[in-house]
Structure 1
Amino acid sequence: MTYANHTRFTRRGFCLCCVGATTFAVSGGWLTPKEVFAQAQGIVDMIRSAAAKAPIEVHTLRGNVSVLEGSGGNVAVLTGPDGKVLIDAGITASRPRMLEAMSGLSREPIRHLINTHWHFDHTDGNEWLNKEGATILAQENARKHLMSAQRVEDWDFNFPPSPPAALPSETVSAEKSLRLNNATLLLKHRPNAHTDGDITVAFAEADIFHTGDIYWNGIYPFIDYSTGGSIDGTIAAVEAILASIGDRTIVVPGHGQPVSNKAELQAYRDMLTTIRANVSSLKRQGRSLDDTIAANPTAAFDAKWGQFVIGPAFFTKLVYEGV
């Protein structure tokens, strides 16, 4: 894949990039997500509007598993006689195109939905998918966040409680195994990573691994400290995933180009650990956040990872907060 194609995929895979691109053109530089939210009114409506216009691209993997790209996070779909199983729900405004894309995969109804975590771009579609017939499952903490109002401080945004139909009716605490559509799905909680309620989903026989937002392919990740995320937990989760997958494993990230692999995930891990070490060293020297940002601790990685909404300065801030 060319870098130009990678850029196209990545921008569409994360709806805030539509906002980020606009502010970049006006300001001549990337704003932090907090600055974007502060300057843009009705950001949730803007995200929904972007999702309403974005095409849904279908990536066929193996073992009756596909990925739908273009509605918030990357959505995996498993088809078979037990009905469609979705990993993440995307954004409601994408509903017509999501249904069209899924009808092209198979005729079975939607019966199961697994949320990798609580964030809007992965759960906004919960309500309509539940009304289509999906039973919703999530980690216990993710359900708690969906049940009550949540403030994401680094986004300067307050999310209201989800409607009853959007709430998971089933939860997993640490681990859970499901047998659906002649496939074994292995669910595992990854504590205090992107949030405190992240789960990964492995399709055992097909050797496919959906990481949720623990892994952002080609983009600096957002870490939600407001709801229990941490840089160290993210690194620990990535290292645990790397230890459990092989060279042939298809890795599906939460954002970015949706078909990845172990080598790319290893590069992501190396980026995280190196930047963490750089920022930690500066902080131990007594450097302030502004001084740490000015020291460019992400410089070696910015050309590849820092060209989208989570820019070098903001990612440095996130790491600084957690070391």
Structure 2
Amino acid sequence: MTMKNAGLFGVAVSAAALLAGLGAPSLAAAQQTPYEMINAAAASSDITTTPLRGGVVLLQGSGGNMVAMPGPDGLLMVDDGISLSKAKVEAKLHDIQPTGIKYAVNTHWHWDHTDGNVWVHDDGATIIAQANTAKHLGETIRVVEWGHTFTPLPAGGRAALLVAKEKTLPYGTDVLRLRAYMPSHTDGDLSAYFTKADVLLTGDTYWNGLYPFIDYVAGGSIDGMIAAANANIAMAGEKTIVVPGHGPLGDRASLIEYRDMLVTIRANVAALKKQGKTLEETIAAQPTAAFDAKWGQMIISPALFTTLVYRGV
């Protein structure tokens, strides 16, 4: 599961420093892993809420984007963030509806989307996920780019309700449609679409204004990311509010722009690799240069994204 690129960890450290709002990493920050810096950012950040449509509320400030929607038996959540933010997230959820959590959907297994599983389960939530996500949350997995080995969550923090291909969940005034992607960001990604509110959550198959991470250890690939981007475009209408895994709200046009970026960079990297270029030579050729000003300024650097694409072509 380890990666061959010796420079990859250093690239990820610099990227995570940007995520944490630190700019160039200080000596102390450079001694932290990206996982530690991201957790520190979550611990110090406020949780913000943004009403979307049809009662759906966006929560930001604890890892990946989350949403919550009130219903007759409590809240329905999609993703639950990093557990260090528990008290702040709970306070915001109480403001939305003070009756606890009925369901919590995991869009994939990464801790910045699922680390709250244990406490939301203790609050009474039934956790819903694709089968591979539930499996990964019960495994020990080393993610080199984050500098961390993830250990199994307690059984209660893993999904009790699994989605094979598609599931509809009537709740409150809406119907949530869950669909499993083919392996893309990971091999366990789900989209979540509030059909009446017309709000689509893509998980980490879509990062708005950011190069995405691709988890090859857990079955992800650049080709799968492109396929997922096309699936998201097909699901979104002209008025759909699109909630990415990371970054600001998007729409169908921004999904198309993101897909086109992935396709172009994949083609650029594949052409260089076909010429016999090494990874280092490919990075030096700057195959992402046309997109770096918009997409390469936070979290995943151009060099790291080139590395991830190179691995998959």
TM-score, scaled to structure 1 = 0.88
Give the match for residue 277 of structure 2: 287
Q: CA RMSD in A?
A: 1.8
| In structure 2, C-alpha distance between the alignment counterparts of 1:314 and 1:81, rounded to whole Å | 45
Aligned counterparts of 2:36 and 2:277: Cα–Cα separation in 1: 39
Deviates further, 151-160 or 272-281: 151-160
Relative to structure 1, the CA distance from residue 208 to residue 53 in structure 2 (aligned partners, 3 Å threshold; closer, same or farther) is same
For 2:23 and 2:174, locate their aligned partners in 1 and report how far apart those are by CA, in whole Å. 44
* Residues 142-157 of structure 1 mapped to structure 2, 5 A cutoff: 142-157=133-148
Q: How far apart in 2 are the matches of 1:275 and 1:160?
A: 33
2:168 to 170, 173, 177: 177
For structure 2, the residue ranges without an aligned partner over 5 or more in a row are 1-14
Instruction: Tell me: CA distance 1:45–1:306, structure 2 relative to 1, closer, same or farther (3 Å).
Output: closer
Residue in structure 1 matched with residue 250 of structure 2 by the alignment: 260
Letter in 2 for 1:243: A
Counterpart residue number, 1:115: 106
The amino acid of 2:92's aligned partner reads A
2:306 and 2:33 map into 1 onto residues whose CA distance is: 27
- 1:164 deviation in Å? 1.9
Alpha-carbon distance in 1 for matches of 2:17, 2:26: 14
Give the counterpart letter for 1:129 in structure 2. Answer: V
Alpha-carbon distance in 2 for matches of 1:19, 1:237: 24
Q: Which residue of 1 aligns with 2:24?
A: 24
Match of residue 95 from structure 2? 104
What are the equivalent positions in structure 2 for 1:1-323 lying under 5 Å apart?
A: 16-17=16-17, 22=22, 24-26=24-26, 39-41=30-32, 44-257=35-248, 259-323=249-313
User: Which residue of the partner structure matches residue 8 of structure 2?
Assistant: none
- Can you list the C-alpha shifts for 1:141-185, whole angstroms capped at 9, x where unaligned? 000000111122333421111112211111111111111113111
Alignment-mate amino acid for residue 24 of structure 2: F
Three-state SS of the structure 1 residue aligned to 2:207 is strand
AA in 1 matched with 2:214: I
SS at match of 1:24: coil
1:5 is matched with: none
User: Gaps (5+ residues) in structure 1?
Assistant: 1-14, 28-35
- Contact 2:202 / 2:243 at 8 angstroms: preserved in 1? yes
TM-score where L is the length of structure 2:
0.91
| Inter-partner Cα distance in structure 1 for 2:32 and 2:286 | 31
Structure 1 counterpart SS, 2:244: strand
Q: What letter matches 1:300 in structure 2?
A: A
Aligned residue for 1:227, secondary structure, equals coil
Give the count of matched residue pairs: 298
